[in-house]
Amino acid sequence: MNAVKVTLGVLLASGAIVSATGLPTYPQTANAAEQAAATAVAKPSVYIAPIDRAKFLAGSKFDFRVELNDLTGDPGNVAITVNGKEASAFFGKAFEKTSTAKSREFTIRDVTIGKAGTYTVSVKAGSLSKSVKYEAVTADVAGKKAKNVILFIGDGMGISSVTMARIMSKGLTEGKYNDLLQMDKFDQRAIVTTSGMDSLVTDSANSASAYNTGHKSAVNGLGIYPDNTESSLDDPKVETLAEMLKRTRGMSVGVVTTSEIEDATPAAVVSHTRRRSDKPEIAEMLLKLQPEVVLGGGSAYFLPKSVAGSKRKDEKDLIADFEKSGYTFAENATQLKAAKSPSKLLGLFHTGDMNVYYDRSTNNKEALKSFTDQPNLWDMTQKAIDVLSKNENGFFLMVEGASVDKQLHAMDWERSAYDEIELDKAIGVARKFAEQNGDTLIVATADHNHSASIAGTYWEGDGKSGREAIRTYEAAKFPTYTDANKDGFPDSPNPDRKLAVVFGATPDYYEDYKFNAIPQAPAVNSDGKYVANPATLANPDDPNKDRFLHTGTLDPKVDSTEVHTADDVPLMAYGPGASYFKGTLDNTEVFFGIVNSLGLSLTGAKPDGKTWVSLTEFLNVIGGSAKYDSAKNTTTVKANGSTLVLNLAKRTATKNGKAVALEFKISQGKTVVTSNSLLAALAK
């Protein structure tokens, strides 16, 4: 029996779940201290969802919930108000009231805040009290609007990951890159913070949910705020962007990924659940929303229980249900190509996660098993654009390079980098479409980071190996990856001098800096403890293999793979609305940037047909200035030898004490004007 089979046998015996890529995932269990804390007596408290500082697009739908938890007696009269008005009257709906021996719950589902502004929610119940503040906003009306939005998520793609991919794809000559990645060439850039509402370090579910809803969630949460019930499917919901666009704009929606289509990032486009592992239910949520394009892996949750490979517990045949709804179905790359551009397209190319690009491109049959005809990500992206762009109302497309993350968990950074290059080629496809049409915003970002970093290069040319062969500073020189066929991928992941990538948050693992021909788990379970997996070594039977052993930083009873970090992630944007993405942004702001690019209104307000621009930005262009007086609530504008005074409260403007016609208003906290009226008012 070979080393691979031994490894898989150990994993299966340990209760690990082995994914389609051969990588295990393990259920997380609390340690003793966490278990003790969970059983400690909790004090009575008030929980309000949405949470403090939640930001809403005015007119978006959400569930409102108040919980009184860990009660020791009757809390007495409960008062819940919004800006001083009784909450049920404010929302126009009565509370659904529930209770247990230790809690009281007050829920109103499917409500909206229809007017921009600041709102204070106050709860008083006996000696308990709590207040939170909300902000409701409308979409920015200034500037040219996008018809389409394509959001690329490199799952786990930190700045160091981008650098790895660029080095391996483009190379350097005397310190200068020979070329840049497609995402590098986007002019607009920002840094995104990633923490969730309950944890410094996020997972992909609630971080992707932030991009799709504009709201924080908890680890494992998708399109919800967590509540105190056992069910994962009844938590307070927040509307996703895809739901908004279908409800109000008639836009098409596409979801493309190299993971299971029910996995966290693609699921965030459509789903509402406290538990990202509700994959059968997430598949049904896809059917309910019916994105016009659904491409990825995960057919196991679409197949009825009686079909081999199914992971459902019922006989629902979701593929048949999609076909009844007008979808063309493809199960391999050949069928995807033959599908042309139907009105609706479902492609499921693996029962689990799709295999990584390296194994697909080299026809690595030991890794692929029977799935030898899987499409690449850029072809899926092109097909999605072909289908979605037929809608005159526009489209929203989310494309995920999923195994950038999955391979970093396994510390297989070479496979991760190949998948990032694949993602970048998909970005190139979108960029070409955007350049041809001029009406498409492209955003490329990540949901979280990993602890991988480039320390130098690895070279055995002088007989050294292992850690002694890691070269730093001037000894590192430059890696020797080549791309003879000019396809953008290195010809080999194992040149004579390769990148030396190190990790900071790991289990115990072996590292001989050799590429694994078959994907391997970094650690395996042995008597309830995760130990380094010798199958990752070029010679697993090396009697001196402990010279390659790296002592981990994580609890060996809990963590079997490298984990996410709280590091910020990069964002690159191109097209109408890209200027929103600058500086340091909370991950929820990515949603609002997309909303602003579309000029999305959910309140029934009609566009006035005027072109609005930021006052300060326009003055910067024409050489003017603006000064705000908070005491008078006025803005004084000086340009072209003239002085204008804008009374922001009365929405009037004067020039030399006389009224002057000027079109201006406040949008997203900024003063915006029509350029023609400003130039006319400033004219001598």
- Does 448 carry a binding-site annotation? yes
- CATH of 41-137, picked from 3.40.50.920, 1.25.40.340, 2.60.40.10, 3.40.50.10860, is 2.60.40.10
At residue 152, the 3 state secondary structure works out as strand
Residues of the chain within CATH 3.40.720.10 domain(s) are 148-448
3-state secondary structure 448-491: CEECEEEEEEEECCCCCCHHHHEECHHHCCCCCCCCCCCCCCCC
Residues of the chain within CATH 3.30.457.10 domain(s) are 612-682
- Does 567 carry a binding-site annotation? no
- Does 70 carry a binding-site annotation? no
- Does 447 carry a binding-site annotation? yes
d(C-alpha 499, C-alpha 477), whole Å: 10
Contacts of 303 (CB under 8 A, 6+ apart): 309, 310, 311, 312, 317, 318, 319, 351
pLDDT at 643: 92
Domain 148-448 -> CATH class: alpha beta
d(C-alpha 417, C-alpha 403), whole Å: 9
pLDDT at 34: 53
Within 10 A of 475 (CB to CB), how many other CB atoms are there? Answer: 10
The residue ranges of the chain whose pLDDT is under 50 are: 1-30
d(C-alpha 237, C-alpha 175), whole Å: 50
- Does 564 carry a binding-site annotation? yes
CATH code for residues 612-682: 3.30.457.10
Kindly state the tokens that stand for 89: 């009257």
Contacts of 71 (CB under 8 A, 6+ apart): 44, 102, 103, 104
- Tens of pLDDT along 370-409? 999 999 999 999 999 999 999 999 999 999 999 999 999 9
CB 396 within 8 A of CB 443: no
- Does 550 carry a binding-site annotation? no
Bridge partners, residue 24, by sequence: 18
d(C-alpha 638, C-alpha 656), whole Å: 12
pLDDT at 666: 81
pLDDT at 668: 67
Catalytic residue (one of 19, 204, 560, 614): 204
Contacts of range 425-428, beta carbons closer than 8 Å, 24 or more positions apart: 425/182, 425/376, 425/377, 425/378, 425/488, 426/152, 426/377, 426/378, 426/380, 426/381, 426/399, 426/401, 427/152, 427/181, 427/182, 427/183, 428/182, 428/378
Q: Fill in the amino acid letter for 639.
A: A
Contacts of 127 (CB under 8 A, 6+ apart): none
Task: Note if 204 is an active site residue.
Answer: yes
- Does 350 carry a binding-site annotation? no
Residues of the chain within CATH 2.60.40.10 domain(s) are 41-137
Bridge partners, residue 576, by sequence: none
